[in-house]
Amino acid sequence: MRIHQGTFSFLPDLTDEEIERQIAYIRQNGWAVSIEYSDDPHPYNTFWHMWGLPMFDLEDAAGAMYEFRKCREAFPKHYIKINGFDPSPMWQAQRVSFIAHRPTQDDPGFRLRRLVWSDGRVQKYGLEPYVEDRPAGERY
Amino acid sequence: MNPTLESANLHTLLQQTGVPEVLERLDQELIGLAPVKGRIREIAAYLVVDRLRRDLGLVASRPVLHMAFTGNPGTGKTTVALRMATILHRLGYIRRDHLVVASRDDLVGQYIGHTAPKTKEVLKRAMGGVLFIDEAYSLYRSENERDYGQETIEILLQVMENQREDLVVILAGYRDKMEQFFTLNPGMRSRIAHHITFPDYTQEELVQIGLLMVGEQNYYLDPAATQAFAEYVACRMRLPNFANARSIRNAIDRFKLRQAHRLFERGGQVSADDLRRIAEEDIRGSQVFAECEEMRKGEDHAP
């Protein structure tokens, strides 16, 4: 199954030119570009690893593309996303985020885990990525 | 081959780019520097021809545009680099008309592992435009082989080679030191296509530059002051630490100080003309004349 997280995730994968144009759009709005990677596809995993610091003073998308390519070289077996952070007052929040690189087109997906709660009359449900069975770094 | 474009007029194409305008401004605002302007014209012409060839479908590899500007302090290296960014932008070789100025401090780190991120940070900021490295020879210190500058040079070389379409690098520095730098880093020399030497200004050129600067700041020199200024330049050129146009700019700032002081001393009403005029005494009050005199005496007494 395909992991749907962030913008554009229901579209076909973006090409490098399209990614560059998206970065140009982020930059044009005055937002900071940051690159993050992770091999834990759980939707509640909000803590991805940062690839370097957010780039606040870029003049051109080429700088961020350079970092993105470096990250993809180093972590071809991880999900990589590109975020746009709006530093202006009142916002100071992430405005856009999309997955720019996938380790596989066919993610194994999630297991439904049942948990018998307290005296056995309550059940709780949770999701668990199948890839989580293997240790981090060897998942894809 | 593109069938609609069988032939084209070079001059119309050049006009369309808006480059002649920039070159003209270069001519008006920068005095002297004939060899530099000649080289810039050549580069501009070459780039137009290259663009045309591309439009006609004659494929060639992208020209290498990295440059080295060598010359004494104050000969206009930074100013020309700024114009270069505009020219390259108008010709469509860089995406943005911006220039990032960096020196050793901005590129080289203080401890192990600090240099690469620092250099990359600057490179990323400059991408899409021109990176101007002032006093580039200071990146390499031959006396210390563990100097971190070496790491910067390696990263720089890599980016200069692999991302030619994203970044144009201009190295600048004093002539002899840059010569030495290139000898010690042959990789750098071979990646730079255009070596441009900036000559020193002559005395007349310096006087013209001075008058231009005064005019730009809405001051003027009266005839006696103009004469004094010519003498001042002649004196200043012989003193040590002479930095061409930069010395002239500093001198003009001091003339302005003296003018303001004179107006206060005189007291009473000042007219608009008083505020604009720099008089002879503002220039004659300079220390330079005394120092120059002293030097001449020293020479006379020399055996």
Whether pLDDT at B166 is above 60: yes
The answer to whether A93 touches A86, Cβ cutoff 8 Å, is yes
Q: What distance in Å separates the CA atoms of residue B81 and residue B69, rounded to the nearest whole number?
A: 9
Q: Would the CB atoms of A58 and B124 count as touching at under 8 Å?
A: yes
| Per-residue pLDDT tens over the stretch B181-201 | 999 888 888 889 888 999 989
Q: CA of A36 to nearest chain B CA: how many angstroms apart?
A: 17
B3 within a domain of the structure (yes/no): no
Q: Would the CB atoms of B166 and A57 count as touching at under 8 Å?
A: no
Query: What's the whole-number average pLDDT of chain B?
Result: 86
pLDDT the model gives residue A22: 95
Tokens (6 digits) for A105: 């087109």
Q: What distance in Å separates the CA atoms of residue B47 and residue B13, rounded to the nearest whole number?
A: 11
Boundary (domain end) residue, out of B150, B172, B198 = B198
| Per-residue pLDDT tens over the stretch B176-185 | 899 999 998 8
Residue from the list A55, A59, A66 with its beta carbon closest to the beta carbon of B96: A59
Which has the minimum average pLDDT: B130-134, B139-143, B253-257? B139-143
Residue owning tokens 């001059």: B11
Residue owning tokens 């930069």: B246
CATH code at B251? 1.10.8.60
- Which letter does DSSP use for residue A51 in this model? S
Q: Verify that B149 and B232 share a domain, yes or no.
A: no
The answer to whether A82 touches A100, Cβ cutoff 8 Å, is yes
CATH code at A26? 3.30.190.10
A136 within a domain of the structure (yes/no): no
Q: Would the CB atoms of B127 and A63 count as touching at under 8 Å?
A: yes
Tokens (6 digits) for B15: 């006009």
Q: Verify that B150 and B241 share a domain, yes or no.
A: no
Q: What distance in Å separates the CA atoms of residue A27 and residue A23, rounded to the nearest whole number?
A: 6
Whether pLDDT at B35 is above 50: yes
Identity of the amino acid at B255: F
Which has the minimum average pLDDT: A126-140, B9-23, B139-153, B275-289? B9-23
B301 within a domain of the structure (yes/no): no
The answer to whether B96 touches A59, Cβ cutoff 8 Å, is yes
**Sheet of strand A79-86: strand arrangement:** A49-50, A32-38, A79-86, A93-101
Q: Verify that B229 and B162 share a domain, yes or no.
A: no
A61 within a domain of the structure (yes/no): yes
Q: What distance in Å separates the CA atoms of residue B114 and residue A22, rounded to the nearest whole number?
A: 30
B158 within a domain of the structure (yes/no): yes
Contact A50/B at CB under 8 A? no
pLDDT the model gives residue B100: 92
Q: Verify that B193 and B142 share a domain, yes or no.
A: yes
B2 within a domain of the structure (yes/no): no
The answer to whether B186 touches B146, Cβ cutoff 8 Å, is no
Angstrom distances, CA of residue B126 to CA of A83, B98, B123, B192, B201: 21, 8, 5, 18, 31
A94 within a domain of the structure (yes/no): yes
Confidence category of residue B6, pLDDT binned at 50, 70, 90: low
Contact list, B161 vs chain A (CB under 8 Å)? none
Residue from the list A52, A57, A61 with its beta carbon closest to the beta carbon of B125: A57
What secondary structure does DSSP assign to A56-120, as a single string? -S-SSHHHHHHHHHHHHHH-TTSEEEEEEEE-STTT-EEEEEEEEE-S-SS---EEEEEEEETTT
Confidence category of residue B7, pLDDT binned at 50, 70, 90: low
A125 within a domain of the structure (yes/no): no
Residue B133, CA atoms < 13 Å, CB-side half-sphere? 27
A59 within a domain of the structure (yes/no): yes
Q: Verify that B241 and B192 share a domain, yes or no.
A: no
Query: What's the whole-number average pLDDT of chain A?
Result: 92
CATH code at B53? 3.40.50.300
Domain count, chain A: 1
Quick one: closest CA in A to B131, which residue? A59
Q: Verify that B116 and B210 share a domain, yes or no.
A: no
A118 within a domain of the structure (yes/no): no
Domain count, chain B: 2
Q: Would the CB atoms of B126 and A64 count as touching at under 8 Å?
A: no
Identity of the amino acid at B21: E
A116 within a domain of the structure (yes/no): no
B5 within a domain of the structure (yes/no): no
The answer to whether B169 touches B66, Cβ cutoff 8 Å, is yes
Beta-carbon contacts of residue B151 (< 8 Å; ≥ 6 apart): B108, B115, B116, B119
Query: Hey, which residues does A34 pair with through a beta bridge?
Result: A83
Tokens (6 digits) for B300: 């006379």
The per-residue b/e assignment along B182-212, b for 16 or more CB within 10 angstroms, e otherwise, is: beebeebeebbebebebeebeeebbbebbbe
B1 within a domain of the structure (yes/no): no
| Per-residue pLDDT tens over the stretch B248-283 | 999 999 999 999 999 988 887 888 888 899 988 889
Q: Verify that B168 and B272 share a domain, yes or no.
A: no
Beta-carbon contacts of residue A81 (< 8 Å; ≥ 6 apart): A5, A6, A35, A36, A37, A48, A97, A98, A99, A100
The answer to whether A55 touches A85, Cβ cutoff 8 Å, is no
pLDDT the model gives residue B24: 85
Residue from the list B100, B127, B129 with its beta carbon closest to the beta carbon of A66: B127
Domain that holds residue A54: 16-107
pLDDT the model gives residue B78: 86
Q: Verify that B22 and B111 share a domain, yes or no.
A: yes
Quick one: closest CA in B to A66, which residue? B124
Boundary (domain end) residue, out of B198, B221, B241 = B198
Query: Hey, which residues does A123 pair with through a beta bridge?
Result: A116
Q: Verify that B172 and B225 share a domain, yes or no.
A: no
Confidence category of residue B1, pLDDT binned at 50, 70, 90: very low
What pTM value is reported for the model? 0.78
pLDDT the model gives residue A32: 95
Q: Would the CB atoms of B167 and A62 count as touching at under 8 Å?
A: yes
Domain that holds residue B242: 203-296
Contact A25/B at CB under 8 A? no
Q: What distance in Å separates the CA atoms of residue B166 and residue B121, rounded to the nearest whole number?
A: 15
A8 within a domain of the structure (yes/no): no
B121 within a domain of the structure (yes/no): yes
Contact list, B96 vs chain A (CB under 8 Å)? 59-60
Q: Verify that B161 and B92 share a domain, yes or no.
A: yes
Comparing CA positions, the residue from B236, B180, B179, B164 lying closest to residue B206 is B236
Identity of the amino acid at B238: R
Confidence category of residue B123, pLDDT binned at 50, 70, 90: very high
Contact list, A67 vs chain B (CB under 8 Å)? 124
Q: Verify that B183 and B221 share a domain, yes or no.
A: no
Q: Verify that B223 and B112 share a domain, yes or no.
A: no
Averaged pLDDT for residues B156-173: 90
Boundary (domain end) residue, out of B165, B198, B231 = B198
B4 within a domain of the structure (yes/no): no
The answer to whether B95 touches A60, Cβ cutoff 8 Å, is yes
